[in-house]
Amino acid sequence: MAIETSHASVDENNNVYLIDGGEKTLVGQYPNVPAEEALAYFSRKFDDLEAQVRLLEQRIKTTSATPSAVEENLKAVEKELSEPKFVGDANSLRTRVEALKPALEALREQHKKKTEEEIAKALAEKEKIAAKAEQIANRDPAKTIWKNAGKEMQELFEAWQTLQKNGPRVPKAQADPIWKRFSKARAKFETDKRAFFSDLDKRVKEAKKLKNDLVKQAEELVSKGSQAADEFKGLQDKWKRAARIGKGEEALWERFKKAGDAIFEQKKAENEKLREQEMANYELKLELVKKAEAVKIDDLKKAREELSRINMEWSKIGRVPKDKIRELDTRMSKVENAVKQKEEDEWRRTDPESQHRSNSLIEQLEQSIADIEKQIADAKDAKKKAELEKNLEARKSWLEAAKQAAN
């Protein structure tokens, strides 16, 4: 039984036709079923195609839609519309598909702008990674903490890989120059690192040999006792200047330190013994100082003889502690100065020329006193008389001092 609708028809042989713009197009045949079922089968194909168009209308409004995917789906719908295998309102679908094309163009522009922004951002991130890698690579190898620097460089490489994997596809012409900078920095870093540790290994080997030699020398010095103290200090200076050797350092240091302790213990024992001897010398010299202080200097000849004997004994006694030298020297100097002063006084007293000057002064003072006494006797003015009496007392005082000095 034949059926016909506004958009489809089915003939007696179950050939199904699409009616589109007054024209019939064979879309297929569904034999051995009622005409209604054949019509329904091809109508469902239209529903499926309409669902695709509806989905495209929804997707094109979202920011997640990509122009290429939308365009691909749109072309597939257009192909099905041009080679229909369905029955339905084909014209309405074509109209809806055409309406999607301006939206697709807008989506392309939007996607292009977004892609350009993402590329610019990715390039900026890669630029930062390359610059940071260059900064790490250009550090002074001697001051670089290689473990930390290696971790930094690895993190930069992982960040680059993440950008490559998850970021936008950057044009090769823009990405390659930055990648070359990054690669060059990484290569320099690895070259410097290998050179540093090669040199370090060399220095460690040299330091290990040196420290083994220093230990042997230190152990040989122990037999010399305290006399080797200065030599051991020289070895200590060499040890301090040598590089650390890592494994084995502590064991060598313990041997070196043990030898040094043995030398300095002997030095300490000798110093204590020397201190005891110097304190004994101090006690002996202190007794001599007391004897010197007890010498009577009235008889200068006898005093000089006693001090000479004391000095002879003094010279036979050894060194005293440094902190006691000043005390002894001060007290002995005081005695020596007293004797010297006594000698000078005696010389002045017995010197003929000095005696003559003293007698002349006495005579002058006596004559002056006699003159003043006569003036006082003749004086009539009380004020002048008082002044003369004052002068008289002064000259009498000078006369007494001159006589004492002469004796």
- Given 256, 273, 290, the domain boundary residue is 273
pLDDT at 78: 92
Q: What is the pLDDT, as a whole number, of residue 88?
A: 94
**pLDDT of residue 147 exceeding 80:** yes
Residue at 145: amino acid letter: I
Residue 110 lies in a domain: yes
Residue 210 lies in a domain: no
Residues 25 and 106 placed together within one structural domain of the fold: yes
Question: How far is the C-alpha of 360 from the C-alpha of 244, rounded, in Å?
Answer: 91
Same domain for 292 and 360, yes or no, is: no
Same domain for 100 and 143, yes or no, is: no
Which of the four pLDDT bands, split at 50, 70 and 90, describes residue 344?
confident
The pLDDT of residue 174 is: 87
At 402, which amino acid appears?
A
The verdict on residue 208 lying in a domain is: no
Q: What does the pLDDT read at residue 359?
A: 61
Q: How does residue 255 score in pLDDT terms, banded at 50, 70 and 90? A: confident
Same domain, 10 and 79: yes
Same domain, 182 and 242: no
Domain that holds residue 225: 217-273
pLDDT at 54 (0 to 100): 93
Same domain, 48 and 151: no
What's the whole-number average pLDDT of the chain?
85
Count of structural domains, the chain: 5
Does 24 reside within a domain? yes
Least Cα distance to 218 among 210, 329, 323, 125 occurs for 210
- Whether 186 is in a domain gets the answer yes
Q: Are 141 and 192 spatial neighbours (Cβ–Cβ below 8 Å)?
A: yes
pLDDT tens-digit series, residues 1-60: 688 999 999 999 999 999 998 899 999 999 999 999 999 999 999 999 999 999 998 888
- Asked if 247 and 232 sit in the same domain, the reply is yes
- Indicate the pTM of the whole model: 0.46
Within 10 Å of residue 46's Cβ, how many Cβ atoms?
Answer: 22
Listed in sequence order, the residues at least 6 apart from 41 whose beta carbon sits closer than 8 Å to its beta carbon are 16, 30, 33
Residues 316 and 250 in one domain: no
Q: Which of 201, 225, 253 is the last residue of a domain?
A: 201
Q: What is the pLDDT of residue 254?
A: 85
Q: Is residue 206 part of a domain?
A: no
Domain identity same for 22 and 64: yes
Q: For residue 316, name the pLDDT band (cuts at 50, 70, 90).
A: confident
Pairwise CA distance, residues 131 & 152, whole Å: 13
Could you count the other beta carbons within 10 Å of the beta carbon of residue 377? Answer: 9
Residue 175: C-alpha distances to residues 111, 158, 170, 262 (Å) = 20, 16, 6, 69
Residue 207: inside a domain: no
Segment 215-224 shows an average pLDDT of 81
In a shared domain, residues 279 and 317 = yes
Residue 184 falls inside a structural domain = yes
Q: Which of 140, 170, 201 is the last residue of a domain?
A: 201
| Confidence tier at 305 by pLDDT (50, 70, 90) | confident
What is residue 83's predicted lDDT score, i.e. its pLDDT?
92
9 and 103 both lie in a single domain: yes
Query: Both 154 and 106 in a single domain?
Result: no
